[in-house]
Amino acid sequence: MRPILLLPIGLALSYRFLDRGNPSDLAWLTFLGIAGIGLSNTALYSIPAVIGCSWVAYFTLELFERKERGDLWKQVRRGLLLAIPVVYPIGILVLLALNVIPKPIDLRSFGPRSMPWHEAVDYVIGGPAEYVRDALLMIVVPLIIVRGRDGLFLFSYLCAVWLLCLNPLLAPWWMKNILAYTYFRLVYLLQLPLLCALLAAAGSRLWHPGSLLKDRLPTLVAVLAVVGSFVYGYRGVSIMPRDPKLGIGWKSPREYQLLPANIDFAKAAGRYIAHAKLLAPNWTASCELPLLFPEMKVAAPRLVAHYFSNAGNPDEGILRRQAQAFVEGDHSQNPKRVAMLEPKFRQVIETGRANAVAVPESESQRVLATLKSIDPDWHRVLEAGGLVLMLPGNTEPRG
């Protein structure tokens, strides 16, 4: 989400350069593009998109204001200069398209090639109530609260985003080039947090002496309409429901941004697994324990099949994922599927790919019985955070 913070900066710098032509703004835009890509690859297309939509919006505004031909050519020249900040991100995209920078061989882990347009947009905006709220923001804030040339530019920019980036007719092209599951990130180009912040501009209009019917009353009605839409669309302070059982909820600044159960397991088992080759459930193994123990080797990290496939060894990735699935258990209550996974689990243990196993408590007896059939010295060491740690008999804890 960090690139979202760069989009308002990109919009402001683009507008100021197009309006004043300051070379320093062009330099800052260039640095913004480079720094944004360093933060996240989302900037490869979001930074060029915000700059491009800004130029389209400003040029459209110049046309509606019926500027002279010389002024229009000046905007064309400034638009060409805006190609400088996007050379770096566009260049990387071209190298990726030409496969000069190698792309992953297997993209199946990133989801389907296409998806319904409304699903991607709904993922960010929400349901009908949120659509009403955001539509009011995109109309009321630029045209009634900000007003003037700045407000018209902002409104033209939003129209350009909908026309060029969030157009359902162009969605298949975008999904083909940036992957369908990342299309939702284009919705952030609408700058909805920025529009919320600009609501504060209504304060000066409401308190400034002026015509009640011409200035203050429309502003007051607009603010009340937006506030009413927020109240109507309010569903809670977070899109993630809190779950006290799992420890999901608000955390203090001193706490890890990890599940408390995994932290409890790490504290209890740290001296055993810090340098081990651990086979554990997918979420625990791939996302959290490696952050706490960087020297630990994870037998089946997240998307393990994808990584081994791109390394040219898809069979190895499938083997490790199937062994991990045996540890996790089968939630379909199909014993035949678990029996099919057992040989894969045995192969991973017998070949030394894993020398420690973390198992959910509900699956511990089944997995331990299989481990003992491989080597009778395998045993339970401890239980913490809903996981049971199992080690062979000759494994000693390391400090």
Tens digits of residue pLDDT in 44-93: 999 999 999 999 999 999 888 876 776 778 888 999 999 999 999 999 99
Residue ranges of the chain with per-residue pLDDT less than 50: 238-241
Q: What is the pLDDT of residue 169?
A: 94
Query: Could you give the CA distance from residue 383 to residue 127 in angstroms, rounded to a whole number?
Result: 42
Output the pLDDT for position 101: 85
Q: Is the pTM of this model over 0.95?
A: no
Which residues, at least 6 apart from 362, have a Cβ–Cβ distance to it below 8 Å? 329
Whole-angstrom distance, CA of residue 51 vs CA of residue 387: 49
Q: Where are the alpha helices (DSSP H) in the chain?
A: 2-20, 23-39, 43-64, 69-81, 87-97, 117-125, 128-140, 148-164, 171-178, 192-198, 202-207, 217-233, 260-273, 282-283, 289-292, 304-310, 314-328, 335-350, 364-374
Indicate the pairing of strand 277-279 with strand 387-391: unpaired
Rounded to whole angstroms, how far apart are CA atoms 371 and 323? 12
Distance CA 388, CA 360 (A): 6
Task: Report the distance separating Cα 372 and Cα 370, nearest Å.
Answer: 5
Distance CA 21, CA 15 (A): 9
- Across the chain, mean pLDDT equals 85
> What token pair was written down for 285?
């193994």
Token pair belonging to 14: 């683009």
Task: Please report the pLDDT score of residue 117 as a whole number.
Answer: 92
pLDDT at 239: 44
Q: What is the DSSP letter of 330?
A: -
Please answer whether residues 146 and 235 qualify as being in contact, where contact means their C-beta atoms are separated by less than 8 angstroms: no
